[in-house]
Amino acid sequence: MKMTKTLSLAAGLAVALAFTACSDQDDTKAPTAESKKPAVAQEQPAAPQAPVMAQASDSALTGTVVDTFDGGGYTYIQLDTGTETKWTAIGQAPVTVGEQVSLKPGPVMRDFHSRTLDRTFPEIIFSSGLIGADEAAASTSFGGALQGEGMGMMSPMAGLEQASGGSATAVAPLQEVAIEKVEGENGYTIEEIFTQAADLSGKKVKIRGKAVKVSANIMGKNWIHLQDGTGNPANNSHDLVITSADMPETNSIIVIEGVIATDKDFGAGYKYNVILEEAVVSN
């Protein structure tokens, strides 16, 4: 009897060990909780941000060149103004470290990525050239530089040029519209705005017209071309340029109120005889 119990115990132990071994093998094959988790995709490096035009510098930059190099047809200049250090770019020109230079105003670009240098500048000013330098040479080299940086023939001010009006290349084409003048003592037609601009400068006016072109977020503003059927396309007085935080739909008829500014200079040669600023769409 004692022998029988011993054999039974041994057999039971063998079965238990065999079961444990099988269980261990199954655990090895079965997916773990970790393995059941979906694979985490590796983080991809972010693509360079599109450059954003922040504003236009309104005065010349003067300082000492602390670093400079050429690339893509540009001359990049790190300029110490005495109070801060700024990155600037001009059409390729001879500049040396330690030299005192004065640069013309120009648009400020943020997150500008240079293809040629494979480098992103958090902020850089695109000056239209050295003060006193040959204007034609600077303009020519600057245009070529833009092609080299993958920006086609557009300048950093191209978005503003297309949006804002004030010169023959920027004014929206005449549209055949005939829109009734808005009522009220500060209501004007576009033709009246242009002919009375000197007297209206700094004053708030209201106009009804068609938003024939709208461009968003240039220098932190939306740019609107308004026409009402008045004015003379021969002198570009048919198309009023407006800056606003509002964003009307293109081709919509709107009433807009804002402050008239005259002889507005955004730098880089972009000057506007008449422009409506701080405008609010009221309908």
Judged against a pLDDT cut of 90, whether residue 191 lies above it is answered with yes
Please tell me the distance from the alpha carbon of residue 223 to that of residue 247, in angstroms, as a whole number. 8
- Bigger pLDDT: 54 vs 129: 129
- Bigger pLDDT: 7 vs 233: 233
pLDDT at 133: 57
Q: Which residues contact 152 (CB under 8 A, 6 or more apart)?
A: 146
Check: CB of residue 37 under 8 Å from CB of residue 244: no
pTM for the model: 0.47
Q: Of 112-126, 143-157, 227-241, which range is least confident?
A: 143-157
Judged against a pLDDT cut of 90, whether residue 273 lies above it is answered with no
- Bigger pLDDT: 219 vs 225: 225
pLDDT at 16: 41
Please tell me the distance from the alpha carbon of residue 212 to that of residue 218, in angstroms, as a whole number. 17
Judged against a pLDDT cut of 60, whether residue 201 lies above it is answered with yes
pLDDT range class, residue 252, cuts 50, 70, 90: very high
The amino acid at 66: V
- Could you tell me the domains of the chain? 52-156 (2.40.50), 161-281 (2.40.50.140)
Task: Name the nearest CA neighbour of 95 among 81, 79, 75, 114.
Answer: 75
Please tell me the distance from the alpha carbon of residue 168 to that of residue 74, in angstroms, as a whole number. 27
pLDDT at 195: 94
